[in-house]
Amino acid sequence: MSDISGPREPLRPQVTPVSPLPRLEVFLSHSVDDRDHVTLVQRQIEALGIDVYLAEHDPKPGTSIAAKIDEALRRSHAVVVLITATSINSAYVQQEVGLARAYGKPIVPIVEKGVDKSRLGMLGEVEYLELDLSQPADALAKVSASLQPLVLAQVSAVNVSLTVTPTMPSAENQLLLIGLGLLLGLLIASWAFGQPGGAAAA
């Protein structure tokens, strides 16, 4: 009985789409009076492809400031705390550090050179980066280095899933594969015999 179904269409791999991972986001805890320093740190972090959350850049009229900060801290992957002679007196900064610890967020403190370290509070037991405003490049490079593991972890989590249904190759494809295998074997053999001492070794 002859097969009248006709030639089969070649099987094509089916790609299962994967939902894009959210961008990394860092919460930058600071005093609004340190605008210039904040901008410097913000740009350094964003150069790594990380979003930086600044409360003053997220206006939500009529919304509780505490609730807004709490939501942003929960969402963030890490918290960078900029401690200067100004922010060391900020109750908001200390509260944000407390919430970050409670939520188990990685904390990267950046402490201005000359700040009284005995006033760091809960940050006193966390390794910090010292920021010399006359030479900020070194400290900012260390900020990048401390955040790079987050970036690498995010990159390694990106995965493309390919689903291929197995099928038997057609007779023509089987003959083609056998022919390619024989040709490859002959090429390998001719190369081996062409090497010095190849024939003697055979």
Q: Can you give the pLDDT at residue 202?
A: 46
Sort 136 into a burial class: Cβ within 10 Å, 0-12 / 13-18 / 19+: middle
For the chain, give every domain's residue range: 25-156
Q: Can you give the pLDDT at residue 30?
A: 95
Q: What does each of the 202 residues of the chain score in pLDDT, given as a tens digit?
A: 555 555 666 666 555 555 555 678 999 999 999 988 899 889 888 888 889 999 888 888 888 889 999 999 999 999 999 999 999 999 999 999 999 999 999 998 999 989 988 888 888 888 888 888 777 777 778 777 877 777 677 656 544 333 334 445 555 555 444 544 554 454 444 444 555 555 444 4
Give the whole-angstrom CA distance, residue 118 versus residue 78.
Answer: 24
What φ, ψ does residue 89 adopt, rounded to 5°? Answer: -100, 5
Q: Can you give the pLDDT at residue 82?
A: 94
- pLDDT tens digit sequence for 64-115: 889 999 999 999 999 999 999 999 999 999 999 999 999 999 998 999 989 9
Rg (CA), the chain: 30
Give the whole-angstrom CA distance, residue 107 versus residue 77.
Answer: 10
Q: Can you give the pLDDT at residue 5?
A: 57
Q: Can you give the pLDDT at residue 160?
A: 39
**Long-range contact pairs involving 13-20 (C-beta distance under 8 Å, separation at least 24):** 13/162, 13/163, 13/164, 14/162, 14/163, 14/164, 14/165, 15/160, 15/161, 15/162, 15/163, 16/161, 16/162, 16/163, 18/158, 18/159, 18/160, 18/161
CA 131, 26, 127 angle in degrees (round to 5)? 40
Q: Can you give the pLDDT at residue 188?
A: 46
- What b/e sequence results for 80-106 when a residue is b if at least 16 CB atoms lie within 10 Å of its CB, and e otherwise? bbbbbebbbebebbbebbebbeeeebb
CATH number of 25-156: 3.40.50.10140
Q: Can you give the pLDDT at residue 27?
A: 96
Q: Can you give the pLDDT at residue 184?
A: 47
Q: Can you give the pLDDT at residue 143?
A: 77
| pTM reported for the whole predicted model | 0.63
